[in-house]
Structure 1
Amino acid sequence: MAANGSATNWAENLEKLGLTLPPVTPPVAAYIPATRSGNHVYTSGQLPFVNGELSAVGKVGAEVSAADGKEAAKLCALNALAAVHDLVGLDNVVRIVKVVGFVASAPGFNEQPQVINGASEFLGEVFGDAGVHARSAVGVSELPKNTPVEVELIAEVR
């Protein structure tokens, strides 16, 4: 246990990465950013917004490089953590259970797992062993707002 009673020292780890939790991105349609059911928080799909703007647009493997897609996946995960924090506080996260990542993919692009590693590796850096999770990485033809990546997660909480 960290000094603040949380299972991980997420705030210190974010600081080491040079990051802070952003404000929760307002929904772009009829949903809420996160909801709790029992001991789990489910986030809605999060886009790579930075200060209200998408970090990249287009398909990975065409307008967006795999490296930029990976960075976008990291930003999606950061926004998902902000949604969890806004609902229950990250001090209450026991572990990240599952991540689902969607990659808007150009024809022939099949490196979706490497793109979504941006989210997975980031969650490991923030939560250590508690950030290791089950995962799906799915290639799709289109995503909302022409974003290259969308990520949702499930967190177990106290």
Structure 2
Amino acid sequence: MSSVSQRLSELGIELPAVAAPVAAYVPAIRTGNQVWTSGQLPFVDGQLAATGKVGADVTSEEAARLARSAALNALAAVDALVGIDKVTRVLRIVGFVASAEGFTAQPVVVNGASDLMGEIFGEAGEHARSAVGVAELPLGSPVEIELIVEVAD
């Protein structure tokens, strides 16, 4: 079986630099054999890729791509802390979606993050998940993704 970094290379995916925290927290922490990330926004090259509410300013499809980007930022935080090749399983994703009134397709948006985990980790990418609609997110972001992974010693 290939390593996670080999799989990323095969997929043509490069992990971004770890996004700088926008408040008083660290990007990820390890406890035992788990790494928990802070909520990650869809920063690309240090800039928020989009702003606005999903269902009004941002389409579901665009928001799913943003969720994928935020998930890549979460994986980058894991990589910086312990090394991506130590990840043995994705345990949980929590996705927050800044939702316009009446928007109810949060699960479709968070699929952007979930599908990425399947592409990278295969069966080990299957995870528990919540997809939550919220009124606002930091900096006006349409999505925010948290990740919990299991890691080898």
- What TM-score do you get using the length of structure 2 for normalisation? 0.96
Q: 1:13 & 1:57 partners in 2: Cα distance?
A: 31
Q: What do residues 37-78 of structure 1 show as CA deviations (whole Å, max 9, x unaligned)?
A: 000000000000000111111000000000000000000100
- 1:19 matched residue in structure 2: 13
Q: 1:146 & 1:44 partners in 2: Cα distance?
A: 17
Aligned-residue CA RMSD (Å)? 0.9
- 2:114 matched residue in structure 1: 120
- 1:108 matched residue in structure 2: 102
Aligned residues: 152
Alignment of 1:136-151 (within 5 A): 136-151=130-145
- What TM-score do you get using the length of structure 1 for normalisation? 0.93
Alignment of 1:11-90 (within 5 A): 11-90=5-84
Aligned counterpart for 2:129 among listed residues 120, 129, 135: 135
Q: 1:23 & 1:99 partners in 2: Cα distance?
A: 20
Q: 1:138 & 1:128 partners in 2: Cα distance?
A: 25
Q: 1:125 & 1:116 partners in 2: Cα distance?
A: 15
Letter matched to residue 40 of structure 2: Q
Structure 1 runs (4+) greater than 4 angstroms displaced? none
Q: 1:20 & 1:29 partners in 2: Cα distance?
A: 26
* % same residue: 60
